[in-house]
Structure 1
Amino acid sequence: MNAIPLQHGDPLLGELDLHLIGEGRHERLWEVLGAHPRVVRTARGPVAGTTFAVWAPNARAVRVVGDFDRWADGVPMRRRDHGVWEVFVPGADVGARYRYRVRSADGGLHDHADPLAFAAERPPGTASVVHRSRHTWRDAAWLDRRRQVDPVAAPLSVYEVHLGSWLSEDERHAASYRVLAHRLADHVGRLGFTHVELMPVAEHPYGGSWGYQVTSYYAPTARYGDPDDFRYLVDHLHAHGIGVIVDWVPAHFPRDDWALAGFDGTPLYEHPDPRRGEHPDWGTYVFAHGRPQVRNFLVANALYWLEEFHVDGLRVDAVASMLYLDYSRGEGQWEPNEFGGRENLEAVALLRELTTAIRRHRPDALVIAEESTLWPGVTAPVESGGLGFDLKWNLGWMHDTLGYFGHDPVRRAGHHHELVLPATYAAEERWLLPLSHDEVVHGKGSLWSRMPGDDAAKAAGLRALLAWMWAHPGKKLLFMGGEFGQVREWAEAGGLDWGLLGDPAHAGVAHLVADLNRLLRTRPALHALDHDPAGFAWLDADDADRNVVAFLRRDPAGGAVVCVANLSGVALPDYRVGLPQPGRWRVVLDTDAAEYGGSTHGPRRAVTADGIPWQGLPVSATWEIPPNSVLLLEYDPGLH
């Protein structure tokens, strides 16, 4: 360690840092608060130790206790302006566990984990851990490429992962960031996904929360290794051309009294009014989004994950619960805003501050909202009155589409609107289509089990669902297991049934996903105009009686891909499809192909368009469309 020009006993935080903390504008908060190993010059020479700094404005006194004093009386901290406490502890080294012992105004004494701990003790332990990164990043080329790409216009297919249950049940004991780095890179790379999305990896004591009840926002969970092991995972995925998105939870936090709750003896991080500060669904506290220092804590945390761990984006959890004061609350359980409305103006301000800060510091990073309501302009720019997100989860598409595919084909005609409705609002926001973990838990069953019929029908239905999703406007997200037809419902304490890939039906689903991702990457018509009305046109949206739908996807240069879905239980031997230009057209994907486990054998079918105008287009051609299947067609200038 290099000595720093600081005398023992001198202030540790500068006046500018304190001023920015007081105003809630220190966007690199992690550089001044938390635990930082360092060397301090003293009259007796350099002394190695750690500086500790914490915000606790209403505390009467704060001490830091830990391994370095055998968890005895602790080292008293010095109070600075704006409620910041600091101390340098000689001998406190990397790896030392510690907590803050806070004496509240009423004399109560309680130990808390560090809100800005960079590492945490492995659960069920709850102490914070002094950490210094020694990781050497090797992803400069990846970051350079990322800066050259518009992430919203580029192909985006996301593989959602819960790290603890991705391996099989027999292997899950071996789950670590480094093991998972290699296994995920191989699997995700083979299937062609552009990104992985990790369910929350910030430290959380209760595994059954899936990571959504965070206690240490700045510390990757110690379940799978230390923070540098997590850096290795991100770095390794980048080396294999795979981006990393992490789930981020700014809406609420758990009531554990050793963490953020009542941190300085008062409701500091949580809103003091139970009508705003307690979440009735999850039994958690709601952040005081209007408090400048709390907003600072959250915005800086988002930047921390983007900068310190090189992640490529954040999926912001439970945005709807933040936007509305009456979310999951009945009459008398919520208080209107200053204008008498139900909008949470403080949370809106936080979200706009968040997306603005990320645009300023990391404009090439994705910010994705999980938002389930009709709030206008979630992906509109902040300067236009929007929230500034890049993408919004299309939960309406998810609900309607799964509802449709869950019906037996003989009953689908009465639900035709569920299939075609989402396309009518495809350009209202920039959408991501999610088939996420929420759709395969709590008795809903897996995607495979939700398809009607016997195993052959389930396999065909899942293949059709996935191809429909990849052809539909919007970016894509698929939860782990869906890519090969996991049969069992997902359980956090279990694992994936990788042995199913030995079954041709399940291996066929995985083969299909790989081909869908290949087409998504190589056909601009399937991604470049995802959010532009010019990129989509119905060919036939009204054939409910036959359960047939056809549409056209276009790219900016005029290229086209035609999607035809026959979601009935019978083949259509002579289905006519309108085409935008004469010449030879071929099937580039048929979900009923034998290579995917279907029944259609032989080469891809190609035909020459005839002169019959059809479905509003100048020419057309006929194909046989297998039952419960989706075909993708494209013009082939090499076929004449």
Structure 2
Amino acid sequence: MALRDTSLPEPSGPAHCAPAPALDPGDRGRLLAGAHHDPHGLLGAHPVPGGIAFRALRPFARSVSVVIDGEHSRLTSEGDGLFSGLLPLDAIPDYTLLVAYADGEQEVHDPYRFLPALGETDLHLIREGRHEQLWKALGAEPMTHEGVTGTRFTVWAPNAQGVRVAGEFTFWDGQAFPMRSLGSSGVWELFLPGITEGARYKFEITSRYGDRFLKSDPMARSTEVPPATASVVTASHFEWSDEKWMARRGELPVHRAPLSVYEVHLPTWRKGLTYRQLADELPAYVKDLGFTHVELMPVAEHPFGGSWGYQVTGFYAPTSRLGTPDDFKYLVDALHRAGIGVIMDWVPAHFPKDDWALARFDGDPLYEPGDSRRAEHPDWGTYEFDFGRVEVRNFLVANAVYWCEEFHIDGLRVDAVASMLYLDYSRDSGQWSPNVFGGREDLGAVAFLQEMNATVYRRAPGVVTIAEESTAWDGVTRPTDSGGLGFGLKWNMGWMHDSLGYISHEPVHRKYHHNEMTFSMVYAYSENYVLPISHDEVVHGKQALVSKMPGDWWQQRANHRAYLAFMWAHPGKQLLFMGQEFAQGAEWSEAHGPDWWLLDPAYEAEPDHRGVRDLVRDLNTVYRATPALWERDTDPGGFRWVVGDAAEDNVFAFLRFDAAGRPLLAVSNFSPVVREDYRLGVPEGHPLWQEALNTDATRYGGGDIVRRDPIKAEDGALRLTLPPLATVWLVPMPD
């Protein structure tokens, strides 16, 4: 299938076939221009008066012969790489082509003798926008078709005049392999014998305007390592060993289960490690610290590392920077075998404008809206998806299913939901048009999110979807059959903003901001929440978590520890970005990962980073062992303020209850002074209490104002000594 020089004379060989009927000039012109919708009607073998006509398109070949039962019959050159001939046969035989080039010859199967390798059911579902396993119908699929091994290429390009396959096997020239249009589906198809796994390819598209350009495959399941942009034919050979995890992950609804998430940017967590090397280190580290899940910043292929994966070009391909798709499966499998769930950031809100990717894919707006006011994302210089188009919604819904089914992903954190929901998001008057009801809601995006959530929950039991939604949109985590968007959880951006604002103030000023720490309980049960301290909060001048804290280094670390324990006790699930678990002081960037050297025992100047990491480990250990901290996260009866108005003291105290009514008392003193004999009411029936966790313990780097003995409740209250800048958890002692 290689292209070769034609400057040498044709070699001698078998006798020529009789002349075949000439092509219609219009058909010939469109075929050679890559603008014909049905090349299979012109190429291959076809009954004609007098026998069977054979025609092949082999640019740069010296000669082409038809081989039938070992007999060679040479076709006549028609010019421009076309060869044809007529054999006096009654029916189309089994045949191959012998193609001679300047440096040798190849015997190959003719791609144009095969019936379509895509069925009518697939095409019907694509037309309807309801193909829930779209990746099995579109893209490059190695297969055996009609007894021949090769790869089926399919692509959706409804506005194109013609589409051809180009690859390293054609020296990136698409002339030889035009694809056929499969009717009103907008799908183009071609089965190429002999093309197997590892082959690099693109689609050469001729637009309705006559422009010709190369595009990567939107459905590619593997890609070249950026900055190279070709798609790669691939098939999975991975054998999973996480059966126990998959069988059990849906036993307990996520809102009634412990969920403590460690957010990771895989390329920089341990810079330079591959997926398989990460599998040797990441599961052990996360398990040691007691997190229930990891959340991976986007792993789908993206051209620019500085986007951290949030500008995706290969929605179906794990980034090849760290290995193959099977290598990524190996990492997920290792995490599951360690008892750790895997949440993945998913970015259906927008895509970059790179001319080799999705943008104006077939020469017209296709994945993006045709109205430029709707297409352009004003914040990120990208295109938004056309959520009103059923095929685009299908592309994205199937993509969500793909990661859950093919890669055993346990959760999808959906990025930038607010930017999808509002037509006027980051737009001024005149830069947007209202919906059919005159409102600002993007009804297509709402329908897409509802369809995505309903489909994922139906097809992948135990998976959770999580919305990063920064507004007060009603019903983000309400079921779709009740009119909600259908997410399982929502990031609590309000809690994050308010609590970080409070903790960044000097203690002497915190009394004026006390309500910023209590306001979250006004709406805590309006949705099912995650409390996120994510990568977004520790970059671009926002400072690392410990560096947001006021005071000297001791006070900063004390604030950091007290804040984390307050967060872990607050209703809602937890998420912490890498590096914050050991109080890294520097901002994270993709240029380097966490400052692991801070944990080196030989680094004596700041041994306290290990103390903060020990605290995070203990937070997770006590959290997972104490149902009061997670079992009733979405039930108002699982929370009660003890002291919510002690603004002058900078003290917060509340009770959490499990389903059986067993309490945990959480007390935070965000002032730098010790508070003696502090009276806090507790439920009756629990005469003795003990500290379950105290962030002022010496082992965490604190001043060790701790209570190791039991504390007796008197007159329905405990009298406590509150350490400075610390959070204490207390639980009743067993009877």
Do they fold alike, i.e. is TM over 0.5? yes
Task: Deviation per CA, 1:219-270: give whole Å up to 9, x if none.
Answer: 0000000100000000000000000000001110000010000111110000
Task: Give per-residue Cα distances to partners, 1:320-364, cap 9 Å, x unaligned.
Answer: 000000000001000000111101111000000011101211131
In structure 2, the residue matched to 1:577 is 680
CA contact (8 A) 1:68 1:91 kept: no
Hey, what's the Cα distance between the residues in 1 that align with 2:212 and 2:486? 42
| Structure 2 residue 531 is the aligned partner of structure 1 residue 433 | yes
Deviations 1:200-230 (A, max 9, x none): 0000001111101000100000000010000
Give 1:299's match in structure 2, choosing from 390, 393, 397.
Answer: 397
1:381-392 matches, within 5 Å, as 381-392=479-490
In structure 2, what is the Cα distance between the partners aligned to 1:7 and 1:622? 86
SS at match of 1:155: coil
- Residue of structure 2 in register with 1:19 after alignment: 124
Residue 416 of structure 1: aligned partner: 514
Aligned: 1:595 with 2:711: no
Any unmatched runs of 5+ in structure 1?
Answer: 1-5, 613-618
> Of the candidates 444, 449, 452, which is equivalent to residue 351 of structure 1?
449
Give, in angstroms, the shift of residue 70 of structure 1.
2.4
| Residue matched to 1:3 | none
Q: Is the 8 A contact 2:691 2:707 kept in 1?
A: no
Q: How does 1:254-269 map to 2 (within 5 A)?
A: 254-269=352-367
Q: CA contact under 8 A between 1:588 and 1:604: conserved in structure 2?
A: no
Amino acid at match of 2:150: G
Query: Does the aligned pair in 2 maintain the 1:410–1:569 contact within 8 Å?
Result: no
Of 179, 194, 197, which aligns to 1:77? 179
Q: Unpaired runs of 5+ in structure 2?
A: 1-110, 601-605
AA of the residue aligned to 1:476: Q
The answer to whether residue 573 in structure 2 is matched with residue 475 in structure 1 is yes
Task: Quote the offset at 1:166 in angstroms.
Answer: 1.1
Instruction: Look up the SS of the partner of 1:396 in the other structure.
Output: helix
Note the C-alpha offset of 1:7.
11
User: What's the CA shift string for 1:8-66, capped at 9, x where partnerless?
Assistant: 5111111111111011011110111111111233xxxx432111111100100000111
The residue number in structure 2 matching 1:449 is 547
Give SS of 1:562's match. strand
1:249 aligns with 2:351: no
2:226 paired residue among 118, 123, 145: 123
Distance across 2 between alignment mates of 1:267 and 1:125:
24
SS in 2 for 1:54: strand
1:487-528 CA distance string (max 9 Å, x none) = 111111112111112343111111111111111111000000
Verify: 1:609 aligned to 2:713, yes or no.
yes
Alignment-mate amino acid for residue 178 of structure 2: P
Write out aligned runs for 1:333-352 (5 A).
333-352=431-450
SS in 1 for 2:581: coil
Q: CA deviation at 1:425?
A: 1.1
**Structure 1 CA distance, aligned partners of 2:247 and 2:709?**
41
Q: 1:28 maps to what in 2?
A: 133
Distance, in Å, in 2 between the alignment partners of 1:413 and 1:71 is 67
State the Cα distance separating 1:375 from its structure 2 match: 0.4
| CA gap 1:7/1:580 in 2 versus in 1, 3 angstroms | farther
AA aligned opposite 1:55:
W
Measure, in 1, the Cα distance between the counterparts of 2:708 and 2:697.
9
What is the one-letter code of the residue matched to 1:66?
G
Q: Is the counterpart of residue 211 in structure 1 residue 309 in structure 2?
A: yes
Q: d(CA) in 2 for partners of 1:473 and 1:273?
A: 43
What is the SS of the residue equivalent to 2:532? strand
Report the Cα offset of residue 598 of structure 1. Answer: 0.5
The amino acid of 2:725's aligned partner reads N
Structure 1 residue matching 2:256: 3-state secondary structure: coil
Residue type at the aligned position of 1:64: V
Q: Residue 160 of structure 2 contacts residue 206 of structure 2 at CA under 8 Å; is this kept in 1? A: yes
Counterpart Cα distance in 2 of 1:504 and 1:566: 24
The answer on whether the counterparts of 2:531 and 2:567 sit within 8 Å (CA) in structure 1 is: yes
Instruction: Say which is worse superposed, 7-16 or 265-274, in terms of deviation.
Output: 7-16
One-letter code aligned to 1:208: G
CA 1:560 to 1:74, structure 2 compared with 1: closer, same or farther past 3 Å? farther
**2:339 & 2:113 partners in 1: Cα distance?**
47
Q: Within 5 Å, which residues of 2 pair with 1:371-410? A: 371-410=469-508
CA distance in 2, matches of 1:74, 1:477: 52
Cα drift, residue 151 of structure 1 = 1.6
One-letter amino acid of the counterpart of residue 634, structure 1: V
Give me the whole-angstrom Cα distance separating, in 2, the residues matched to 1:285 and 1:602: 55
C-alpha distance in 2 between matches for 1:540 and 1:74:
77
Letter in 2 for 1:70: F
Q: Does 1:621 find its partner at 2:710?
A: no
Q: Alpha carbon RMSD of aligned pairs, Å? A: 1.2
Task: Specify the code of the residue in structure 1 equivalent to 2:509.
Answer: R
How far the C-alpha of 1:602 sits from its partner, in A, is: 6.6
Question: How far 1:585 moved relative to its partner?
Answer: 0.2
Once the two structures are superposed, residues 83-127 of structure 1 have per-residue CA deviations (whole angstroms, 9 ceiling, x without a partner) of: 100011112110110000000001100100000000010000000
For 2:668 and 2:710, the matched residues in 1 are separated by 17
Among 194, 200, 207, which residue is 1:91 paired with? Answer: 194
CA distance in 2, matches of 1:602, 1:524: 24
Letter in 1 for 2:215: H
Separation in 2 of the partners of 1:452 and 1:506? 17
Q: Distance in 1 between matches of 2:705 and 2:385?
A: 58
Q: How far apart in 1 are the matches of 2:530 and 2:415? A: 14
CA distance in 1, matches of 2:461, 2:235: 27
Distance 2:709 2:230 in 1: 63
1:61 maps to which residue?
162
Q: Which whole-Å CA distance do the structure 1 matches of 2:240 and 2:464 have between them?
A: 20
Q: 1:69 and 1:101 mapped to 2: Cα distance? A: 12
Distance in 1 between residues matched to 2:718 and 2:123, nearest whole Å = 71
| TM-score (ref. length: structure 2) | 0.83
Q: Is the 8 A contact 2:283 2:338 kept in 1?
A: yes
Residue 38 in 1 paired to residue 143 in 2? yes
**Of residues 531, 555, 563 in structure 2, which corresponds to 1:465?**
563
Is 325-334 or 140-149 further displaced after alignment? 140-149
Q: Does the CA contact (< 8 Å) of 2:155 and 2:188 recur in 1? A: yes
Q: Distance between the aligned counterparts of 1:123 and 1:363, measured in 2?
A: 34
Given that 1:200 and 1:247 are in contact with CA atoms closer than 8 Å, whether structure 2 keeps it comes out as yes
Deviation, 1:149, is 2.2
- SS in structure 2 at match of 1:348: helix
8 A contact 2:116–2:191 mirrored in 1: no
Query: Percent identity among equivalent residues?
Result: 58
- Given that residues 161 and 199 in structure 1 are in contact (C-alpha distance below 8 angstroms), is that contact kept between their aligned partners in structure 2? yes
Q: SS of the residue aligned with 1:492?
A: coil
Q: Which deviates the most, 592-601 or 396-405? A: 592-601
The 2-side partners of 1:292 and 1:414 are apart by 51
Secondary structure at 1:65 match in 2: strand
Of 429-438 and 450-459, the range deviating more from structure 2: 450-459
What amino acid is the match of 1:596?
Y
**What is residue 319 of structure 2 aligned with on the other side?**
221
Aligned to 1:136: 239
Aligned-partner Cα distance in 2 for 1:182–1:534:
42
CA contact (8 A) 2:164 2:203 kept: yes
**What is the letter of the counterpart of residue 498 of structure 1?**
W
Q: Deviations over 1:431-481 (max 9, x none)?
A: 000000000011011001111111111110100110000000000000000
For normalisation by structure 1, the TM-score amounts to: 0.95
Q: Contact 1:8–1:40 at 8 Å: present in 2 too?
A: no
Q: Quick one: which amino acid aligns to residue 450 of structure 1?
A: K
User: Hey, what's the Cα distance between the residues in 2 that align with 1:424 and 1:569?
Assistant: 28
Amino acid at match of 1:593: A
- 2:252 match: 149
How far is the alpha carbon of 1:424 from its aligned partner? 1.6
Q: Is the Cα–Cα contact under 8 Å of residues 7 and 40 in structure 1 kept in the other structure?
A: no
Q: Give the C-alpha shift of residue 605 in structure 1.
A: 3.9
Alignment correspondent of 1:232: 330
> Match for 1:25: what amino acid?
R
